[in-house]
């Protein structure tokens, strides 16, 4: 019997637990920990974990894989507390929305005898807490995987296996790229959404504004209902990325403003039309690049993952991760040639 420990039993930790339980891994026990014992109790009741521990140290003791799914800012403290308890060759991963700072904490705080592979599932919803967890939360979603330089190839395979087991698509990327990119497509929309709601809500005309607001306003402000601790932690841990894209957004709004102010009708129409056509193409066809990793190149079944975790046998030779790193470098070169953001 090998142990997987999930620290932080909120929406993400709880959903990972449910998804892993649904995979019916054999010889694996899922242990949960949350400093909020009510959340831990609820996770047990929902069978997102097999059992929970009241002590963080006890929860990770002997674990083959530890998943840290706490709020971003709590990750550092968790690493400090568990560092002395982790068994040799333990694989540690996380689910935080920013990665450079977490990779740094891992390199400072975790012992050299364990492997850290950062993770970030691009999944979520506007409600939080384990009571809103779902096994299908990650289905078909990209899941960023960022190995520490010293992480073993086996650790990389374990985390990639978990990603596929919960139904997500592994996306290999380095921490700085990750932070810059999610700042654009995740953190900037969050700030825009919150700012738009704050602006309308703060108006003396709010009674009328809110009476008139329809699904457009609701949709555009949906991310304002993100858990405030998450929004706050994202902004603090990815400050440069968010500031960069916030400035570019203000520039872009300035461009729209100019077209409007100067009555450049044709260019205004073209701008809206281009956005419309391009977005429809994106929604219909999906992203323009192929999947970075074909599914058959990595372990997929629960049996294989269990094999990796318990170390009994390696069901088949999995593809060397060298190929993945080559791809990443290739992406980097291509972008270098195109010019940077």
Map the footprint of a copy of itself across residues 98-127, applying CB under 8 A: 122-125
Half-sphere exposure of 154 (CA within 13 A, CB side): 15
**Token code pair at residue 312:** 């009994």
- DSSP secondary-structure letter at 224? G
- Per-residue binding string, a copy of itself, 176-215, x by CB under 8 A, is -x--xxx-xxx-xxxxxxxxxxxxxx-xxxxxxxxxxxxx
- Asked if 222 touches a copy of itself (CB under 8 A), the answer is yes
Measured at the CA of 172, the angle between CA 170 and CA 174, to 5 degrees, comes to 145
Looking at 8, 14, 17, 142, which residue binds a copy of itself (CB under 8 A)? 142
Residue whose CB is less far from a copy of itself, 38 or 195: 195
- Per-residue binding string, a copy of itself, 312-331, x by CB under 8 A, is -------------------x
- Return the range that interacts with a copy of itself (CB under 8 A); candidates 4-12, 38-46, 80-88, 224-232: 224-232
SS3 191: helix
- Asked if 338 touches a copy of itself (CB under 8 A), the answer is yes
C-alpha span between 307 and 305 (Å, rounded): 5
- Asked if 226 touches a copy of itself (CB under 8 A), the answer is yes
- Asked if 341 touches a copy of itself (CB under 8 A), the answer is yes
**Token code pair at residue 29:** 């026990």
Residues 275-314 that bind a copy of itself (CB under 8 A): 275-276, 278-280, 282-283, 286-289, 292
Contact indicator for 241, 182 with CB cutoff of 8 Å: yes
Burial of residue 301 (CB within 10 Å: 0-12, 13-18, 19+) is middle
Residues 233-262 that bind a copy of itself (CB under 8 A): 235-236, 239, 242-243, 245-250, 252-257, 260-261
CA-CA-CA-CA torsion sign (70, 71, 77, 80)? positive
- Return the range that interacts with a copy of itself (CB under 8 A); candidates 78-86, 151-159, 231-239, 311-319: 231-239
- Asked if 229 touches a copy of itself (CB under 8 A), the answer is yes
- Beta strands 2-7; 65-68: pairing state: parallel
């Amino acid at each position: 019997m090998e142990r997987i420990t999930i620290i932080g039993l909120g929406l993400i930790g709880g959903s990972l637990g449910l998804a892993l339980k649904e995979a019916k891994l054999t010889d694996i026990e899922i242990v949960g920990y949350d400093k909020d014992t009510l959340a831990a109790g609820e996770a047990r009741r929902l069978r997102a974990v097999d059992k929970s521990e009241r002590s963080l140290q006890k929860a990770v003791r002997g674990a083959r894989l530890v998943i840290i799914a706490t709020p971003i800012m709590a990750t550092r403290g968790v690493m400090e507390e568990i560092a002395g308890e982790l068994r040799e060759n333990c694989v540690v991963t996380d689910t935080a929305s920013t990665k450079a700072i977490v990779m740094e904490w891992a390199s400072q705080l975790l012992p050299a005898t364990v492997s850290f592979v950062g993770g970030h599932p691009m999944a979520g919803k506007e409600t939080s807490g384990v009571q809103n967890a779902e096994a299908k939360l990650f289905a078909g979603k990209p899941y960023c995987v960022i190995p520490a330089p010293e992480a073993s190839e086996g650790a990389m395979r374990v985390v990639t296996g978990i990603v596929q087991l919960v139904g997500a698509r592994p996306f290999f990327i380095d921490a700085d790229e990750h932070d810059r990119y999610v700042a654009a497509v995740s953190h900037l929309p969050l700030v825009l959404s919150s700012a738009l709601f704050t602006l309308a809500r703060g108006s003396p005309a709010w009674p009328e504004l809110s009476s008139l607001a329809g699904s457009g306003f609701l949709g555009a402000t949906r991310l304002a209902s993100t858990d405030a601790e998450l929004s706050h932690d994202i902004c603090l841990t990815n400050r440069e990325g968010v500031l960069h894209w916030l400035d570019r957004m203000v520039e872009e709004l300035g461009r729209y403003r100019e077209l409007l102010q100067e009555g450049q009708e044709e260019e205004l129409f073209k701008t809206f039309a281009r956005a419309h056509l391009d977005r429809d193409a994106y929604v219909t066809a999906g992203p323009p690049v192929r999947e970075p990793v074909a599914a058959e190149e990595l372990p997929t079944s629960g049996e294989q993952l269990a094999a990796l975790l318990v170390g009994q046998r390696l069901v088949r030779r999995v593809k060397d991760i060298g190929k993945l790193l080559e791809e990443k470098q290739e992406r980097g070169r291509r972008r270098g040639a195109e010019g940077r953001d």
